[in-house]
Structure 1
Amino acid sequence: MKVFVYSLLLLFCLHPDILQAQEKEKKTVLVLYSFGQSYPATAQWDKGIREVFNSQQDFEITINTEHLDLSKYNDAGYIKEVSDLLNYKYADKPPDLIITVFEPAFEFILNHRNSLFPDVPIVLGGIERSSSTDLDFDKNTRVVFQGQNEFKKTVELALSQHPKTQNVIIIAGSGHLEQSWYNSAKPTFQLYYDKLNFSHLIGLPLNELINEVEKLPGKSIVFYFPVLEDKDGGNYVAVDALSSISEVSSAPIYSFWEIFIGHGIVGGYLKSFPMQAQITAKVGLNVLSGESPEMVNPVQNEATERIFDYRQLKRWSISDSELPEGSEIRFIEYTYWEDHWKQIVLIIAAFVILLIIIGYLIAQKRILRLSQVELIQTKRKYKTVADYTSDWEYWQHPDGSMAWISPSCEQVCGYSSELISGNPDLIPHMIRQGDKRIWENHNCKDNKRVIRKGIRFRILTKQGEV
């Protein structure tokens, strides 16, 4: 046994790859975000990227993130400081893969890759094709383009929902990213320039945008592109700016990204940032697995979802039956009846049953009362007749006690009805000795021996008369 153990130890020492084969290969991915960490788009992209890398089984991947915040700071001094910081952090141990998110980060890395990461493969995510038409990518770069089809689809959808539209208002910020998205959609809007009146509110400060949308003319619709920066240098969070605009807008607002649903847009064919992030991360995973990142077949992300906000549909009187087939409606607000109809029906049914039971009991009580009145009246009539009859009448309980004796018994036997009621055995004592058997046979408790006919017998009265 010891020889076997020593042999195994010697084998592991001579061949350490046997132990290492059980360990996953370690990889480091650096994700460069264009915006700050607090931006909703950043959070959605980060979630999508991590879902892909954390679910794969081939590598042990460490994800490092850098939030360049280029929507707020983009002067030369700031760019140099960011470059120096990245060089300080990653010069000695560069990542195995770099992923950039949106154009500002993509432009930064292309301008500084030779000094920072000359040999590291790069995947550019969330890129508009119009932003990269004049750029030459090296063989170590892979691009994941956003699709452009959603612009025309959403515009046509909005016009179909509002067929009387005469005015189209475009809202966008003045930053490079907002402008790249806005420029990508321009060819779509130009198709309608001869049919509709277009107003372009580009780069206006938020307070001016709010003033403009408050007084929009009738028969207008709005298309919202992100507002991250205005012409005066002001910075915003795009979803917050949209919420402020939608709150006072006199026209329905449409957009092209899922992140804006729930913040004031009606809906549309919307791009999903988490979905784009997952597609980008899968491309990066292929690169880590050895696939060449050459710019031969750039990935085109055309996936869109038909998503609408129930509250905005109601606000602008849009029927959900008019939406495209397969549309997803979010934030549905049910009426109290729609949300609790089962409980309400059960309560009503129980109440109806209770009313029926109460009605039945009331009816039975009324019938009982009428029966009691009738019985009392009948009893009075019978008592009147019985009390004044000259015959001796009595009712006897099964136990032999007297229920009632007519007062006329005193005329017959000389004993009062009260005396006989208190002493039922007095009756047999009044019967003459020779007639007692007749009485006993008549009064026998054995049903088989009861004689069911009248009898005649003699008694001795109180005065001793027969």
Structure 2
Amino acid sequence: MILHSVGREFRPWNEYAKQIRAELDRQSPWPLDVREHSVESARSGDSNPELPFVQYLGALYAERVPDLIVAVGAPAAAFVRRHRQQLFPKAPALFTANDQRRLQYSDIAQNDALVAVRHDFRFLFERFLRVSPSTKIVAVVNGNSPNELFWRNEIQKELRPLEGRVDIRWYDNLSFQDILKQTANLPPHSAIFWNTMVVDAAGVPYEGDRALTTLYATANAPIFTHDDSFFGKEILGGPMLSARALSKEAGSAAIRLLGGEKPDSIIRVEGNSCRYSTRRSARS
């Protein structure tokens, strides 16, 4: 069972889930029945819809408990931990595509495995500023879901040593349409850091590439990010987490768990990997 954090079409987690499935198909010596579900209550933090969802999962798997639970992203991992005893107390779980800060080693149960990430936002910003030393303003585009607000605070803490060197502007309290107005009229020597846009401050969800492609079409500054799931024509190169590398590790861990290996022997943390694009943006 693959459990998505907010929905099957939200980046970057959908890319991890897709590539994990591909790794399972490639590496598995057995035929697999892979089922996918989403913790959609993570968009708003409203816990009321969770009870019917828990009951649904309990009824769906009443006759046969999953051989493995793969929780993709921090909200999915938190859901599994909250309802583990009620749903699948003995089934092994693999937590992946979430940052080490969201799931500490002390939180890992004996039947849990972890293939996590470690984002270094200060390193990422400093590398960007080395490439573009004239940058004076960085506008951060981030959503308003509980997970995104958690990251607003974490990123802000990590970037405090850069205060005075660059003006970092936050827009998570705005609707995405208002964010677009702000980023279309940034002063010279500005850049945009794209974190995620799951839900904006008006409660509007943004699946797939819709928000990022719209931002790119209207913004007057180059865009950089932390995860190569977003990498494409919109994003400048830089040190990004490799979705493919992490998914390969997670897929291998899942096969090992299905083969009977003890979950608590599998703990791995991936950091930002250096990836650079040769494409130059006209918005520099």
TM-score, normalising length: structure 2: 0.89
Which range moves more in the overlay, 97-106 or 299-308?
Answer: 299-308
Alignment of 1:140-289 (within 5 A): 140-149=111-120, 151-237=121-207, 239-262=209-232, 264-289=234-259
Note the residue ranges of structure 1 that are not aligned, 5 or more in a row: 1-29, 318-466
Higher RCO (C-alpha under 8 Å, 6+ residues apart)? 2
* CA offsets 1:352-407 (integer angstroms, 9 cap, x no match): xxxxxxxxxxxxxxxxxxxxxxxxxxxxxxxxxxxxxxxxxxxxxxxxxxxxxxxx
* CA offsets 1:206-255 (integer angstroms, 9 cap, x no match): 11101111221222222111011122322112632122222222222111
Q: Go from structure 1 to structure 2 and tell me whether the alpha carbon gap of 1:63 and 1:197 turns closer, same or farther (over 3 Å shift).
A: same
Query: In structure 2, how many angstroms separate the alpha carbons of the residues matched to 1:238 and 1:177?
Result: 17
User: Is 1:226–1:238's contact at 8 Å kept on the other side of the alignment?
Assistant: no
User: Is 2:124–2:239's contact at 8 Å kept on the other side of the alignment?
Assistant: yes
Say if 2:12 is the partner of 1:31. Answer: no
Q: Go from structure 1 to structure 2 and tell me whether the alpha carbon gap of 1:197 and 1:305 turns closer, same or farther (over 3 Å shift).
A: closer
Which range moves more in the overlay, 55-64 or 30-39?
Answer: 55-64
Alignment of 1:315-464 (within 5 A): 315-316=282-283
Alignment of 1:48-59 (within 5 A): 48-56=19-27, 58-59=29-30
> What corresponds to 2:269 in structure 1?
300
Query: In structure 1, how many angstroms separate the alpha carbons of the residues matched to 2:90 and 2:104?
Result: 23
Q: Go from structure 1 to structure 2 and tell me whether the alpha carbon gap of 1:35 and 1:56 turns closer, same or farther (over 3 Å shift).
A: same
Alignment of 1:48-197 (within 5 A): 48-56=19-27, 58-72=29-43, 74-133=45-104, 136-149=107-120, 151-197=121-167
Q: Go from structure 1 to structure 2 and tell me whether the alpha carbon gap of 1:169 and 1:40 turns closer, same or farther (over 3 Å shift).
A: closer
Structure 1 position 262, deviation (Å): 2.4
Structure 1 position 71, deviation (Å): 4.4
Query: In structure 1, how many angstroms separate the alpha carbons of the residues matched to 2:76 and 2:148?
Result: 14
Structure 1 position 297, deviation (Å): 6.1
* CA offsets 1:401-438 (integer angstroms, 9 cap, x no match): xxxxxxxxxxxxxxxxxxxxxxxxxxxxxxxxxxxxxx
User: Is 1:255–1:265's contact at 8 Å kept on the other side of the alignment?
Assistant: yes
Q: State the secondary structure of the residue aligned to 1:110.
A: helix
Structure 1 position 203, deviation (Å): 3.6
Q: State the secondary structure of the residue aligned to 1:169.
A: strand
Q: State the secondary structure of the residue aligned to 2:193.
A: strand
Query: In structure 2, how many angstroms separate the alpha carbons of the residues matched to 1:208 and 1:253?
Result: 17
Q: Go from structure 1 to structure 2 and tell me whether the alpha carbon gap of 1:115 and 1:263 turns closer, same or farther (over 3 Å shift).
A: farther
User: Is 1:128–1:184's contact at 8 Å kept on the other side of the alignment?
Assistant: no
* Larger-Rg structure: 1
Q: State the secondary structure of the residue aligned to 1:202.
A: coil
Q: State the secondary structure of the residue aligned to 1:60.
A: coil
After the TM superposition, which segments of 4 or more aligned residues of structure 1 sit over 6 Å from their partners? none
Structure 1 position 283, deviation (Å): 1.4
Structure 1 position 193, deviation (Å): 1.0
Root-mean-square deviation (CA, aligned residues, Å) is: 2.4
Structure 1 position 126, deviation (Å): 0.9
> What corresponds to 1:22 in structure 2?
none
Q: State the secondary structure of the residue aligned to 2:89.
A: coil
Structure 1 position 289, deviation (Å): 2.2
Q: Go from structure 1 to structure 2 and tell me whether the alpha carbon gap of 1:58 and 1:83 turns closer, same or farther (over 3 Å shift).
A: same
Query: In structure 2, how many angstroms separate the alpha carbons of the residues matched to 1:99 and 1:309?
Result: 35
Which range moves more in the overlay, 78-87 or 58-67?
Answer: 58-67
TM-score, normalising length: structure 1: 0.56
More helix per residue: 1
Query: In structure 2, how many angstroms separate the alpha carbons of the residues matched to 1:74 and 1:200?
Result: 21
Query: In structure 1, how many angstroms separate the alpha carbons of the residues matched to 2:153 and 2:91?
Result: 31
Amino acid at match of 1:137: I
Report % sequence identity: 22
* CA offsets 1:171-207 (integer angstroms, 9 cap, x no match): 2111123234444433431221132222111242111
Structure 1 position 124, deviation (Å): 0.5
Q: State the secondary structure of the residue aligned to 2:139.
A: strand
Q: Go from structure 1 to structure 2 and tell me whether the alpha carbon gap of 1:308 and 1:204 turns closer, same or farther (over 3 Å shift).
A: farther
Amino acid at match of 1:156: E
